[in-house]
Structure 1
Amino acid sequence: MTYDYTIHVLNKLPQNNKLRLHCASGDDDLGTHTIDVGYDFHWHFCDGWTGRTLFFCHLYWGSKQIAFYVFRSKWAYRCWLDCYWEARSDGIYFSGKNPPGALEKKYDWHT
């Protein structure tokens, strides 16, 4: 059985700050995008029966950046068909549903 997932990466930085991101898997390169505050960059995919799907994103905000996995098949239980990530000024937050419930800080920015 396969499931259809949606990954969301939302720019929740302070007003007038753009977020640049590049997301990809081993099979799909989603390209580099620059998104405004409040914008939700999202995509859909079907997790294959082999259970080896992996997506990562590299986020850039000014001189700060971070690269991390946004989906791994073995994490599927953490995402109720949606993985929701927010880029904020103090780091990257996660919720396993959309609309998100309480978000948990997962990563700090690197300089």
Structure 2
Amino acid sequence: MKPLAGFLLVSSSLSLCCLLLSKFLEPEYFSSAEFDVRVINGFRTNSSLPLVIWCSSDDHGDIGGRALQEGDDFGWVARANFWGAAAHFLCTVKWDGMRKRFDAFVAGRDGRRCGPLRKCSWLVREDGFYFSSDEVSWKKDFSWF
């Protein structure tokens, strides 16, 4: 094999490897990315009081909200820019005299933890707020107070 042909083969192989890595390892940092964000009413003793949620973003403005009965959800698509930033969604949640503001999505924090499916789910329960990237395994992130 001639030296130039060997160099081109190695160069092409490296380019292909870099392309594959950028597509599969951390896609949110190599292109603009969309994340499915969802907040679910996970109260077990909800009675007749709904969980009220209202969300907004500096970039997207007021995205609205709703009153969620047990099992209902409120969701939207968060878009992070090329650098994995510029997406921040803040929500206020109220239920039976309790009120909590929380960061439902922050691109720099959630880009990796939302997993390869880019699913960022919150389950709100009586004892706090749980996060999941697959809606199967939930981890308590913080309490109401």
Q: Could you say what secondary structure the match of 1:49 adopts?
A: coil
In structure 2, the gaps of 5 or more residues are 1-30
1:89-104 alignment runs, 5 A limit? 89-97=126-134, 100-104=135-139
The one-letter code sitting in structure 2 at the alignment partner of 1:38 is: G
Distance 1:89 1:63 in 2: 12
**What displacement does 1:27 show?**
2.3
What is the aligned residue count?
108
Rg comparison, structure with higher value: 2
Question: Corresponding residue for 1:23?
Answer: 55
Question: Corresponding residue for 1:108?
Answer: 143
1 or 2, which has the higher strand percentage?
Answer: 1
**What displacement does 1:49 show?**
1.9
1:9 aligns with 2:43: no
In structure 1, the gaps of 5 or more residues are none
Distance 1:74 1:45 in 2: 12
TM-score, with structure 1 as normaliser? 0.88
**What displacement does 1:52 show?**
2.1
1 or 2, which has the higher helix percentage?
Answer: 2
- CA RMSD across the alignment: 1.4
Question: Corresponding residue for 1:42?
Answer: 75
Deviation >3 Å, runs of 4+: none
In percent, how many aligned pairs have the same letter?
A: 27
Question: Corresponding residue for 2:6?
Answer: none
TM-score, with structure 2 as normaliser? 0.69
Distance 1:35 1:45 in 2: 20
Q: Which has the higher contact order (CA 8 A, sep 6+)?
A: 1
